[in-house]
A and B are shown apart, each in its own frame.
Chain A
Amino acid sequence: MLDLLVPTTAQGLLWAVMALGVYITYRVLDIADLTVEGSFPLGAAVAASMLSAGYGPIPSFVVAAIAGMVAGVVTALLHTKMKIPALLAGILTMIALYSVNLRVMGKANLSLLGTDTTFSIIRKMLSLNSAYTTLVVGLLATVLVAVFIYWFFGTEIGAAIRATGFNQQMIRAQGVDTDVTIMIGLLLSNALVAISGALVAQSNGFADVGMGTGTIVIGLASVIIGEVLFGTRSFKNSVISVILGSVVYRIVIAVVLQLGMPPNDLKLFTSILVAFALAMPLIKSKFGSKKVVG
C-alpha cells in the first residue's frame, strides 16, 4: 500500500505546482487559459536542455520559469491588445509553442539518462530511495509555491488581480489597468506551469514534445476535485484544496489503473471526470428541482 501511496503522492505534488498555475487563470482571473498545454512541455524542454548542457538545476528552473512567463505574456498581449478571445489566444500560443519546444530540444524527445538532475542530486545528498526523493522535492516545491502565492495575492497587486477576475469594470473604476493585471496573472500562472513541467521532466528522466497534452484537463480536475472535497472558505483554504486535489487526482488514477483500466484510456477517463465535475451545479439543480416537484 505504502509502495503505491508514496510515489503517487509525490507525483501529485509535482503536478500540484501546475494545478496552482491553472487555479490562478481559471479561478482567480476567470480565464480558461490553454497556453498551459504548451508551457508545461516548454518548461520541461528548457530545463532538460539546460541540464544536458551542464547548467545545473537552479539555473534550469529559473530559465524554465522565465520561458513560461514569456509564453504567458504572449497570450496576454494577444488577448488584451489584439482583442482575441482568451480561449483562442491561449490556443494560438499553445500551437506556436509546439514548434518552439521542438527547436529548444532540437528533437522530439530529450533523455536525461546519466545527467545530474534535481532528483539525482538530492537523492545522493539525503541518501533516499527514488520515491521518497520525489516526495521531498515535491513537498518542498509545493510549499514554496503555495507560500509565495498566498503572499502575492494578499498584496495590493494581488488584490487588484483577484478583483479583475471578479469584476473588471469595478477595478478599472478604481484606477487599475486590467490589461496589466491580466498579464501579470497569465505570466505567473505559466511560470508555475513551466516549473511543474521542469519538475516532471526531471522526475520522469526525459522531456517529450507531446507531454503537454491534457495538461489543462488535469489542472482543472485537480482544482475541481480539491474544491469539492476540501472547500473554498478563504483564499488560503482554496490554495491548499488545489494541492490536495492534485494528490487525490493522482491517487484516483493509480487506483483505477490498479483495478485494470488500460493506461491508454487515461485521458478519456480524466475528461469524463472533469466534464461531470463541471456539470455538477447543473446536475444538482435539476436533481434538486425534481425532488421539490415529486
Chain B
Amino acid sequence: MLHIENISKTFFPGTINEKRALQNLSLHLKPGDFVTVIGGNGAGKSTMLNAVAGVFPIDSGKIIIDGEDLTKQAEHKRAKYIGRVFQDPMLGTAAGMMIEENLSIASRRGKTPGLGWSYSNEQTNKFKELLKELDLGLENRMSARVGLLSGGQRQALTLLMATLKKPKLLLLDEHTAALDPKTAEKVLTLTDKIVSRDNLTTLMITHNMRDALRFGNRLIMLHNGRVIIDVEGEEKKHLQIPDLLTMFEKASGDVMANDRMLLG
C-alpha cells in the first residue's frame, strides 16, 4: 500500500541550524493498517507525514502509494490519494466559508474544479446525514461559517472532510493535541469509528503513549529520523507503557526523558 523507501530530509543544510530530520527512514504499510506513531520532539514524526503529503521535496528516497511513485508529485496532486487532518484546528477548514461549502470542496478532493455550481441540494442532504453521525448538532448549522465553530467541532469536521471521499491513505498529525481532554477523546473515538468502518490505511501521530497503545493494529516509534520500534497485531495488543520504555532504551541506548509523552 504505502511504501516509504529510505527517505532523508535535512532542513537548512550547510547552516548553523542544520537539522537532519529524516535519515534513511523506511516504512511499509499494508492495506488497512492503522498505525500509531510516537516519538519525542524532533524525532521526525511530522516531517515524515509532511514528506508523504508532499509539503516539501525530500532529499533522497522514494514514496510509493499503490505502486505509483509520488516522490516528485506536487502536494495538490497527491491529495487525490491522501486525506489529512492537522494539529491546528484552524488549518483543515476555510474559516470564512459555510460548513456546507467546506464539505462540498472536500467531496471533490483531487478533482480539478470546474464551472458547475459548487453545491447542490442533493449533496446537502447527504452531508446532513453524515454530520448527524458526529453528534455535534452541526447538521442544523449547514450555512454557518466554520470560523464560528469550536476547535473540537472544527477538528471533527476536518476529519469528516478528509474521509468524505475515501482516501487511500489518511494522515493524522496529532489531530487531538490542541483539544481539551474530553473533546480529544470524542474526536479519537470518532477517528477509530471512521477508520475501522471504511478500513482506511492510516498513520496517526500522537504524543500520548496510552492512545498509541489503545488505537490501531500497529505502533511505530521514531527517534532521530528513523523507525526504532515497530510492533503489530497480538504483540501490540499486549504491550504496556513500561514495555515501550524498555524497548525504547534498548533500541536507542537512551533514556526516555519526555514528560509530555510519559504523562500525556
Given the complex of chains A and B, what is the CA–CA distance between A181 and B75 in angstroms? 15
Residues of B within 8 A of A173 (CB): 53, 75, 79, 82, 84, 92
Residues of A within 8 A of B90 (CB): 167
Interface code B58-83, partner A: CB below 8 Å = 1, 0 otherwise?
00000000000000001111011010
Interface code A159-181, partner B: CB below 8 Å = 1, 0 otherwise?
11011011101111111111000
Given the complex of chains A and B, what is the CA–CA distance between A204 and B79 in angstroms? 51
Residues of B within 8 A of A165 (CB): 96
> A156, B79: Cβ atoms under 8 Å?
no
In-complex Cβ contact of B116 among A156, A171, A174, A178 (8 A): A156
Q: State the Cβ distance, A172 to closest chain B Cβ, in Å.
A: 5
> B93, A178: Cβ atoms under 8 Å?
no
> B109, A175: Cβ atoms under 8 Å?
yes
> A162, B79: Cβ atoms under 8 Å?
no
Residues of A within 8 A of B161 (CB): 174
| Chain B: interface residue total (CB-CB under 8 A) | 34
Q: State the Cβ distance, B223 to closest chain A Cβ, in Å.
A: 28
Is A280 interfacial (CB 8 A cutoff)? no
Residues of B within 8 A of A162 (CB): 94, 96-97, 101
What are 19 contact pairs spanning A and B, CB under 8 A? Answer: A155-B114, A155-B116, A155-B118, A159-B101, A159-B118, A162-B94, A162-B97, A163-B94, A166-B95, A167-B93, A172-B76, A172-B79, A173-B75, A173-B79, A174-B79, A174-B110, A175-B76, A175-B77, A176-B113
Which 9 A/B pairs are nearest by Cβ-Cβ distance? Answer: A175-B79, A156-B113, A166-B94, A175-B110, A159-B118, A163-B94, A157-B113, A160-B113, A177-B76
* New A-B contacts (20) at CB < 8 Å, excluding given A159-B104, A163-B94, A171-B94: A155-B115, A155-B117, A156-B118, A158-B118, A159-B97, A159-B105, A159-B118, A163-B105, A169-B91, A170-B92, A171-B105, A173-B53, A173-B92, A174-B106, A174-B161, A175-B76, A175-B79, A176-B79, A177-B74, A177-B76
